Structure 1
C-alpha cells in the first residue's frame, strides 16, 4: 500500500492531467482504477485512521491518537502470520503518542519531513524586488525531533529517501508473505522540489517560493504569477513523487515478486490551487491565526486517486462510489481474512476481480466534527478554534451537497453537467437535498456521533423524524 499525501487526481497523467506520472500511468494501465473514490475523514491523521481501521475518524477520534481499543489492520495481519512493515515520512504516526505504528513488526519513521528544512530565502526575480509569497514558511510543530541536514540535491528530498528505504526493506522480507505500508507526505506543502522539476511546468521559473495562504488567494495578495508558481511547484513535487514510486515498483520486479504482489496506490485528499478562488484545503481567518472559518470541501479536495492492482485480474476503470473506509476491508479480503464487525467499509476486491459490485449510494466527507467555539487539532497538529460551522460534503453518483446546519449556506452541484462545481443549484432541487440529508443522518448515527454534533446538524431532519436520536447520548 503506497500513500502519497495531497494528490489531485485530476492532475495525474493517467487521468488526462498535465503532470508527468509515467510510473503511476503504467500501474494504472494494469490495474483497476476507481474513478469515483472519495475521502471520508479529513485531513491527514483522520484519513490514516480510516485506512487502518475501516471506521470513520470524523465522529470522535478526529485528529488524535489511535485508541487502544481499535484494531489496526497491521495488528490483524501480523497475528495472521504476515510480516508487516511501515516506512513513512508523514510526520504524525508516532508523534505525541499517536501509536499509528501499532501492530507493525518493523516500522521506519523517517525524519526527512521533520521539518527542519531551512527557511526559504527570499528571491529576486528579474526586474522585481525580493519577496516571498505567503509570509514566513512554517517550521512544522513536531516536537522532540532533531533537525535533518540541509538538502543538497534530489536524493535528500523526503519521497526519494522514503521509497529507497522501503525498497531496501523489501530485500529483507520479500520471501515472506508480507504487508508493507509506504507513506510519503509529498506533494504536501511546503513545496520545494528541485528547480528542474518546476521548470517543466513553468519554463521561466525563477526560484520563487509560494506557501498557500489557506483561504481566498486574492485577499492574501497573491498575483496571477504567484498562482502559476504555486501550481508549478505542486506539479513538480508530484512528478518527483511519481519518479520515486517507480523506484519502489521496480524493486518488485528485481526481487521476482511482481507477479504475486498486490499493489494499492491512494491519497488522503486533494488541494485547491486557485479553484473557487481558494488556495489550500481549509480556510483560516488570516495567515497565522489559530482559527478555522467555513471550509467547503469541493471535488478537488474530496475526490482522490485509488489504484488497486491484483496479479491476474483484468485491468479497467470502475465508476462506482468508494471511499477511504473501504481500504481496510479490501486489504483483509486480499489476505483471506474476515473483516472486523466494527468496520464501516466494504471490500473493493469484487470490483477488482470483475465480479458484481454495487458501490456506495453516497459518501460523506468531513473534518473532525466540531461546533463553533470548539478547539480542534486539524492540519498541522496545532489546536485551533472553529469559528464558523464546517460543511460536510455528501457525494452521490450524480450530486455533490455541501451542508452544515439549517440557516447556513447550502451548495448543491449536479456533477453530471457541472463537474467543476461552478453553478449552485440548491434552490432548484430541495428534494435532492432532502434525500442526501437522509443518508447523512444515517451516517452520523452509525458513526457514533453524539447529540452535541447531531442535533444542530440534523435539526430539520429531526422535525419529521422525532425519534431518530433516541438512545444517543
Structure 2
C-alpha cells in the first residue's frame, strides 16, 4: 500500500469544472475526479501557507495558538509517525517558504526531500546588479522574482513543471517498491501568475495595460479590465500546472499504480480575484473562496470512486486518514478524524463543524449550511498571544519588539515542552492587522453561497456561538482567545 498527496497551492475550488466552474480548463483534475471520491464540504483550518501545512502534517488546527512558523519540537508530524511505522516518505516541492525563516522542520521530517527552486521571492538566481523591471505595472513587481524568471527559457524550466517531472521520475525509479508516502507539492497556481504565453492565449486575453501578474492584497485597486486580465492569468497558470499534473497521472497509468495507491488531491486555501471587491488573502474575512477548498481521494479498489461525499471534513482529517490506510497508529495528539469510514460507506458523518481562520484575526465556524465569522471584541485585539518553542515567523524572528513582555512556561495542555508566550497585542497600542475583520458576520451559505448578504438572527447566532465554543474547546484553544472574542 502506498500513498500520494498532491497539493496545489492557492487552488480556487469554485473555478474547477469538478465543482461547477465553467470557464477554466483543468482536464486532468477532472480526469482525477473520475477516479476519486470528491468531497463537497471540505474546509481549511489554519491559514495561510505554513499554518495550513502544519495542520495537514499534524492533524491539529493550530491557528488559535500560533500563526506562521515552523514545526514545533513537540509536534507529531505525519512523516515522523510513518517512519516509526516503517514507512518511507519523500516530498517533491517548489514551495520555497519551507526553506525560509519561519518554515523550519517541515521537509526535514521526511525521509528524503527534493526542492525545485525559483518561485516568487526564492533567493535563487543571483545577480549583484538590479534586474530591469517594467516602468509601468499594477500590483507587485519584486526584483528577486525578476531575477528568477530570466532562467525560465522554456516551459520545462518553470518550477511547477520541474516539480511534477521530478515526481514522475521518483515514481519511475521506485516502480517496484511498496509501503511509501510521496508528497507532491506545486506552488502553482500561487501568484505571481506567470506561465508561457500559449496558456494565456487559451483565454482570449486582449489586455493592453501595464504588467499585472501579482496583485496587492486588500481592496481592488486596479481598473476592471486589469481584474479580468489577472483572473485569466490565474486561469492560465492553473491550466499549465494541470497539464503537468496529467504527466503524473500518465505515469501512474503506465506503472499500474492505481491498484495499490491511495491518492489525495487538495490545496491549502483559495485566493480572491475580485470577489467581495478584494484581492488576495490575509487581510480580510475568510470568505468561502478562501476557506472552502477542493479535495478528491482515490481509494485503491474503492467501489465508491467516482462518487461524491457531502459530509463535513477539513484539512486536519488528511493525516489520520493516511495513517489509517497505512496501518499506522494515530497519535493521541491528533484532533482530525480518519475519513476511511466515509470513503468505504460505513459512516455518513465525522464532525459537526469546521473552524478556520488566521491567528489573531476573526475566528470562523461552519456547519456546512451557515458560516459564522466572529470578530474580536475590541480594536486592540487584546489579549492575544503566540505559543511557540520556535520563535520564528514569516521571514523573521518573533518577539523582538516585545522582549521584556515574553513569558516562558508550560502553557499548552497537550505538551510538557516549555514555550515562549509572545504577546501579539497590547492594550496600550492599536492593532492594525484586524482593521478589515472587526464586524461579526453570519451567512446562510445554502442560500447565499457567495456571502453577499449577512443575516441577523439572534437564535441562529446563539447556536453558531455554541458550535464555535465547542470546536474551540476541542482544539485546546488557549482560554484568552475566548476573552478576545467576547465569548
TM-score range, shorter chain: 0.7 to 0.9
Structure-to-structure mapping, 1:212-227, within 5 angstroms:
212-217=215-220, 220=221, 222-227=222-227
3-state secondary structure, aligned to 1:102: helix
Per-residue CA deviation, residues 453-472 of structure 1 (Å, 9 max, x unaligned), is 23121x3x4xxxxxxxxxxx
Cα gap change, 1:413 to 1:115, in 2 (>3 Å):
farther
CA deviation after TM superposition for structure 1 residue 64, in Å: 0.8
Q: In structure 2, what is the equivalent of residue 465 of structure 1?
A: none
1:299 aligns with 2:288: yes
Deviation of 1:193 after TM superposition, in Å, equals: 1.5
The counterpart of 1:391, out of the listed 330, 351, 362, is 362
Gap regions ≥5 residues in structure 2: 379-437
Q: How does 1:422-461 map to 2 (within 5 A)?
A: 422-425=452-455, 427=456, 429-457=457-485, 459=486, 461=487
- Do the aligned residues in 2 keep the contact of 1:34 with 1:319 (CA within 8 Å)? yes
Q: Is 2:323 the partner of 1:332?
A: yes
1:23 equivalenced with 2:51 (yes/no) = no
The answer to whether the 8 A contact 2:26-2:242 is kept is yes
Measure how far apart 1:264 and its partner are. 0.4
The normalised TM-score by structure 1 is 0.82
Structure 2 counterpart SS, 1:58: coil
* Structure 2 partner of 1:471: none
1:356 aligned to which of 342, 347, 361 = 347
Alignment equivalent of 2:440, drawn from 402, 410, 430: 410
Deviation at 1:452, TM superposition (A): 3.4
Give the SS at the match of 1:262: strand
Is the Cα contact below 8 Å between 1:12 and 1:21 reproduced in 2?
Answer: yes
- Greater Cα offset, 131-140 or 106-115: 131-140
Assess, with a 3 A threshold, how the Cα gap between structure 1 residues 3 and 13 changes in structure 2: closer, same or farther.
Answer: same
1: CA distance, partners of 2:20 / 2:132:
32
Q: What is the CA-CA distance between 1:116 and the residue it aligns to?
A: 5.2
CA contact (8 A) 2:371 2:444 kept: yes
Structure 1 residues 139 and 455: alpha-carbon distance in aligned structure 2, compared to 1, 3 A threshold? farther
- How far apart in 2 are the matches of 1:280 and 1:95? 21
Which moves more between the two structures, 262-271 or 335-344?
335-344
SS of the residue 2:462 aligns to: helix
Q: CA 1:259–1:120 in 2, change beyond 3 Å: closer, same or farther?
A: farther
Equivalent residue for 2:431?
none
Q: CA deviation at 1:205?
A: 4.3
Task: Name the structure 1 match of 2:233.
Answer: 233
Shift of 1:120: 7.9
User: Relative to structure 1, is the Cα distance of residues 203 and 93 closer, same or farther in structure 2, using a 3 angstrom cutoff?
Assistant: closer
Q: In the alignment, what sits opposite 1:192? A: 194
Equivalence for 2:171: 170
Where structure 1 has 5 or more consecutive residues not aligned to the other structure, the ranges are 123-129, 141-145, 284-294, 371-389, 462-473
SS of alignment partner, residue 435 of structure 1: helix
Separation of aligned partners in 1, 2:351 and 2:131: 45
Task: Report the number of matched residues.
Answer: 411
C-alpha offsets along residues 384-413 of structure 1, whole Å, 9 cap, x if unaligned? xxxxxx222211121011111347412111
Asked if structure 1 preserves the Cα contact closer than 8 Å seen for 2:59 and 2:318, the reply is: yes
Match of 2:430 in 1: none
1:54 maps onto 2:84 in alignment: no
Mapped contact 2:10–2:270 kept (Cα < 8 A): yes
Q: Does 1:37 align with 2:42?
A: yes
Task: Report the alpha carbon displacement of residue 147 of structure 1 after superposing the two structures with TM.
Answer: 5.7
Q: Tell me, yes or no, if the aligned pair for 2:161 and 2:241 is still in contact at 8 Å.
A: yes
What corresponds to 2:263 in structure 1?
A: 263
Q: How far apart are residue 273 of structure 1 and its match?
A: 0.5
Paired with 2:48 and 2:355, the residues of 1 have a C-alpha distance of 13
Deviation at 1:439, TM superposition (A): 2.0
Query: Which aligned runs of 4 or more in structure 1 are off by greater than 4 angstroms?
Result: 115-121, 146-149
Judge conservation of contact 2:194–2:213 (CA < 8 Å) in 1: no
Q: State which drifts further: 89-98 or 40-49.
A: 89-98
Distance in 1 of aligned mates of 2:65 and 2:166:
34
